[in-house]
Amino acid sequence: MASAKGSEDPAPGSRFLLRLGAVGILAGVYFALGKLGLSLAFVHPSATAVWPPTGITLAALLVLGYGVWPGVFLGAFLVNLTTAGTVGTSLGIAAGNTLEGLVGAYLVNRFANGRQAFDRPKDILKFVILAGMMSTMVSATLGVTSLSLGGFAAWTSYRSIWLTWWLGDLAGDLLIAPVLLLWSLEPRPGWRRTQVLEALLLLLFLYLVGQVVFGGFLSVEMSRYPLEFVCIPFLIWAAFRFGTREAATANLILAGIAIRKTLQGFGPFAGDHPNESLLLLQAFMGVTSVMALSLSAVISERARAQEELRRQAVDLARSNAELAQFASVASHDMQEPLRMISSHLQLLEHRYKGRLDPDAERFISFAVDGAKRMQAMIRDLLVYSRLGTGEETFGLFDCGEIVEATRSQLARVIGETGTVITTGSLPVVRGRRTEFLRLLQNLVDNAIKYRREVPPQIHIASELRASEWVFSVQDNGIGIRAEHQERIFRPFQRLHDRDERSGSGIGLTIAKKVVEQHGGRLWVESEPEKGSTFFFTLPSIRS
């Protein structure tokens, strides 16, 4: 790929040099820390419980890519060649360590979200098992086998050497790799002013805790007490108040202090067998590491979910507002031309009364009627579109009181038709009062409208079933045939001639939307020529 002038992509030549540089640095760091680790090799010169290079390898391969493996191989080879063993055994061990890194990195990339393994608790668990436990077995097996084959280790000690090797690598992965990975993702501290103070305070406490628990700061006898659990609140502090990155770092700092002090013979883990002490300490620090990482991952996951929720709520509110405004403007603007059509046709009617032939007058009245119906439809659609977007909040109201309000609002037509409305006992429920009023009004209005020759009798009742109230509005009207019972809830669907029964046909659609927005269902049971009962549910207050 040719590099254009000023392009950000380095030319292939300089990319190679960068890679070479990375490999070199990696080998150097590996060598240095490897020597440090092996200085603590007690069970066998080449097997130590403290092995940072595993963590460095994993982090390097995940951050820089598989291509830097030669650095690992070179570093491991040189460390072992200069410690104990032959070229052969050193090659075998180097191969094992390199493979461990590659296998671990591959598994983490494939199954645990790669560099972002510490974002989710699930991935942390996978990291621990796949990289921490499984990939390290590769290195332990290849390493100890090479040494035994080369005669540098007794086959009888295979198990104990293998265990030390494995646990040392495991600790390296759990303690060092997270710190390197997390800081590589976010190199800048990004702390606020107050957080800087808190961070310094935390560091101070970590140092003190380390000295007290592991270092015999207070007294040598006290240092023998198993007080290591005292470290945990400080790790939780780091996890809660900062993040995964800081929690892992805090853990590493404590581990460093603990290892140093334990080797000096202080602390609850110090004993006669340094290797045993180190292994136990590593186990402890490994577990606390997983705990701290998981805790902070859960916390940040929750924070992310809350943020997402908040963003969606804002989006929804904005979208609702836009919709309501659109509906309002559209219908308002649409009313005006309709008014023009309607009133000028009437003007025509008025001015030319008696001077037009009967056909013309009929045509005009059809047109006027059409315009009026359209106006009614637009008004109803506006009401429908505004349901649930208004500013009215959910509150408690008495259904009995709503029935009374409906009675007075429909008083005129109730009087004219001789309607009788009876009620059972009605509960207090949660919801939007004006919408519930509209719902009931629509149902009662329908019951009166679709009556038979006898005066309408309407009974409104409610029953508590499971955790919801089931309301019923029963009438003795004309009923609805089974095949129509689903259609009636659709907008503007009517079953009757306009001359017989008035109405735009959106009353039940509005009723259904109100019920559904309150978390319930609306349905009908009916028998033609007998009557209909509309049922709807509302969750009870207690649920």
Partner 1 sequence: MRERVVELLLVEDNAGDVELVKEALKGVAFRVRLSVVKDGEEALAYLRRQGTHSKVSRPHLILLDLNLPRKDGYEVLREIKKDSRLKRIPVIVLSCSAAEKDVLESYDLQANSYVTKAADFEGIIKILNSIGGFWLEVATLPPN
Residue 346 makes contact with partner 1 by CB under 8 A: yes
Q: Does 375 bind partner 1 (CB under 8 A)?
A: yes
43, amino acid identity: V
Interface residue with partner 1, options 273, 310, 311, 332 (CB under 8 A): 332
Continuous H helices in 186-243:
193-209, 215, 231-241
Q: How far is the CB of 494 from partner 1 (least distance, A)?
A: 22
* CB closer to partner 1, 197 vs 329: 329
Q: Does 321 bind partner 1 (CB under 8 A)?
A: no
Residue of the chain from 305, 340, 360, 396 that contacts partner 1 (CB under 8 A)? 340
Question: Of 261 and 438, which CB lies nearer to partner 1 in the complex structure?
Answer: 438
Site string for partner 1, 352-371 (x = CB under 8 A): ----------------x---
For partner 1, the binding residue among 5, 188, 192, 350 (CB under 8 A) is 350
Minimum CB distance to partner 1, residue 297 (Å): 50
DSSP state of 147: H
344 binds partner 1 (CB under 8 A): yes
Per-residue DSSP letter, 326: H
At CA 154, angle to CA 153 and CA 155, rounded to 5? 115
Supply the minimum distance, in Å, between the C-beta of residue 334 and partner 1.
11
- From candidates 198, 276, 301, 349, binder to partner 1 by CB under 8 A: 349
Q: Which residue in 320, 335, 417, 434 binds partner 1 (CB under 8 A)?
A: 335
- Using an 8 Å Cβ cutoff, are 235 and 243 in contact? no
- Decide if residue 392 touches partner 1 (CB under 8 A): no
CB of residue 349 to partner 1, shortest distance in Å: 8
How many positions of this chain bind partner 1 (CB under 8 A)?
A: 17
Cα–Cα distance between 394 and 170 in angstroms, integer? Answer: 56
In terms of Cα–Cα distance, which of 74, 92, 64, 86 is closest to 32?
74
> Which residue lies nearer to partner 1 by CB, 353 or 542?
353
Binding range to partner 1, per CB under 8 A, among 208-216, 289-297, 339-347, 452-460: 339-347
> Which residues make Cβ contacts (< 8 Å) with residue 4, sequence separation at least 6?
none
372 binds partner 1 (CB under 8 A): yes
CA proximity to 135, closest of 99, 162, 167, 161: 99
Number of helices (H) and strands (E) in the chain: give both, helices first: 17, 7
Using the 8-state DSSP alphabet, how is residue 11 labeled? P
Scanning 131-139, 215-223, 342-350, 497-505 for contacts with partner 1 by CB under 8 A, the matching segment is: 342-350
Token output for 2:
């040719």
Per-residue HEC secondary structure of 432-470 comes to: CHHHHHHHHHHHHHHHHHCCCCCCCEEEEEEEEECCEEE
Q: Is 419 in the site for partner 1 (CB under 8 A)?
A: no
Interhelix angle 274-351/358-386, rounded to 10 degrees, is 160
Cα–Cα nearest to 153, from 167, 168, 169, 164: 164
Contact set with partner 1 (CB under 8 A): 332, 335-336, 338-340, 342-344, 346-347, 349-351, 368, 372, 375
